[in-house]
């Protein structure tokens, strides 16, 4: 069978997905809104090979095993069921993320896998169907099928929980400056972290209600190209998500001392008149939502306080691309 290669870019949630209503199907408790980035992408080639005894998954040159392997096989099984085949596959995947950036790659990884595996199995899925399939690997991957701004409507079942494009052709000035924080706290992956919050946070339902109410406000802000409103909503939503982690039992936090130095710096720059906002995911890195014209000022302020810190700058990026690949 023909091999196919897909490229998907990562996305950063401006309104976060933080909890599942259905853990098996990966149906979220809230809708989420994201920006797909031009940096940080995954290239994945899939070929279904007759007589291959088992699925073989190679990530960044290493043969995968354990739970990441299981997640990939889970998506391959869904594809096989849809295509009515039993053939095993070889999957070769490469993450293009700056070394030690510590950025999550599951969004780009499962979007690329959904694209390459479905094509290689002879399926021609719509982008909505690709989003549903990517979602079954990792929730945030549902949004990486689309470029620019996307919304994952939470839905209630396997067929109505998928992402839609909001504005894929984003030329207006918005960027995400990632500040790479090296003091890694104890690793709690997002799947475990959000489940612990859903199960133990006494204020979780209030967070869900509030987060769902932020969605229409964010859509209006994007439609109006209202950068400040987008930033304000994104920062509030991110801090509220991280507050839930402190409400869980046992309480946990992804944010370290350095994360807070950067968050406070962002707040200070705002007091000085700059339009800059912070967002954080399941790790200590802080992403600064800003306008490209302010990059130099932000970097000067950052270097003053944290001279050795590394940064990367990303702008809006494209959705899933699939090309016919060579035999593996």
Query: For ligand DP6, which is the closer residue by CB, 236 or 299?
Result: 236
**Interaction with ligand DP6 in 30-89: which residues (CB under 6 A)?**
32
Binding mask of the shown chain, residues 110 to 129, with x at each position contacting ligand DP6 by CB under 6 A? --------------------
Piece in contact with ligand DP6 (CB under 6 A), picked from 11-19, 53-61, 169-177, 289-297: 11-19
**Part of the chain binding ligand DP6 (CB under 6 A), chosen from 10-18, 93-101, 119-127, 167-175:** 10-18
Q: How far is the CB of 282 from ligand DP6 (least distance, A)?
A: 5
- Which segment (53-61, 75-83, 135-143, 242-250) binds ligand DP6 by CB under 6 A? 135-143
Any contact of residue 140 with ligand DP6 (CB under 6 A)?
yes
Stretch that binds ligand DP6, among 2-10, 91-99, 138-146, 167-175 (CB under 6 A): 138-146
The 13-32 contact track toward ligand DP6, x by CB under 6 A, reads x--xx--------x-----x
SS (H, E, C) the chain: CCCEEEEEEEEEEEECCCCEEECCCCEECCCEEEEEEEEEEEEEEEEECCCCCCCEEEECCEECCHHHHHHHHHHHHHHHHHHCCCCCEEEEEEEECCCCCCCCCHHHHHHHHHHHHHHHCCCCCCHHHHHHHHHHHCHHHHHHHCCCEEEEECCCCCCCCEEEEEECCCCCCCEEEEEECCCCCCCCCHHHHHHHHHHHCCCHHHHHHHHHHHHHHHHHHHHCCCHHHHHHHHHHHHHHHHHHHHHCCCCCCCCCHHHHHHHHHHHHHHHCCCCCEEECCCCCCEEEEECHHHHHHHHHHHHHHCCCCEEEEECECCCCEEEECCCC
Binding site residues, ligand DP6, CB under 6 A: 13, 16-17, 26, 32, 104, 106, 138-140, 190-191, 281-282
């Amino acid at each position: 069978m023909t091999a196919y290669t897909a490229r998907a870019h990562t996305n950063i949630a401006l309104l976060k997905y933080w909890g599942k209503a259905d853990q098996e199907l990966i149906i979220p408790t809230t809708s989420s809104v994201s920006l797909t980035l031009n940096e940080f992408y995954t290239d994945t080639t899939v070929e279904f090979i007759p007589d291959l005894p088992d699925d073989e998954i190679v990530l960044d040159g290493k043969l995968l095993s354990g739970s990441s392997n299981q997640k990939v096989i889970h998506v391959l099984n869904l594809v096989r069921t849809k295509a009515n085949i039993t053939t095993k596959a070889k999957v070769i995947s490469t993450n293009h993320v700056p070394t030690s950036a510590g950025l999550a790659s599951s969004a780009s990884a499962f979007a690329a896998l959904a694209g390459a595996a479905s094509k290689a199995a002879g399926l021609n899925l719509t982008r909505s169907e690709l989003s549903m399939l990517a979602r079954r690997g990792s929730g945030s991957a549902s949004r990486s099928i689309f470029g620019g701004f996307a919304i994952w409507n939470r839905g209630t079942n396997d067929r109505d929980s998928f992402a839609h494009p909001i504005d894929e052709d984003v030329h207006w000035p918005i960027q995400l400056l990632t500040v790479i924080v090296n003091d890694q706290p104890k690793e709690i992956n997002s799947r475990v972290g959000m489940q612990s919050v859903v199960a133990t946070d006494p204020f979780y339902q209030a967070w869900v209600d509030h987060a769902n109410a932020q969605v229409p406000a964010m859509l209006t802000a994007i439609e109006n190209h209202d950068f400040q409103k987008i930033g304000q909503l994104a920062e509030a939503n991110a801090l509220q998500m991280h507050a839930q982690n402190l409400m869980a039992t046992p309480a946990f936090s992804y944010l370290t001392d350095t994360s807070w130095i950067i968050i406070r710096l962002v707040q200070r720059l705002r007091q000085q008149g700059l339009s800059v906002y912070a967002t954080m995911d399941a790790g200590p890195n802080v992403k600064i939502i800003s306008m490209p014209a302010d990059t130099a000022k932000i970097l000067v302020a950052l270097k003053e306080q944290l001279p050795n810190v590394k940064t990367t700058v990303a702008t809006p990026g494209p959705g899933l691309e699939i090309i016919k690949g060579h035999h593996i």
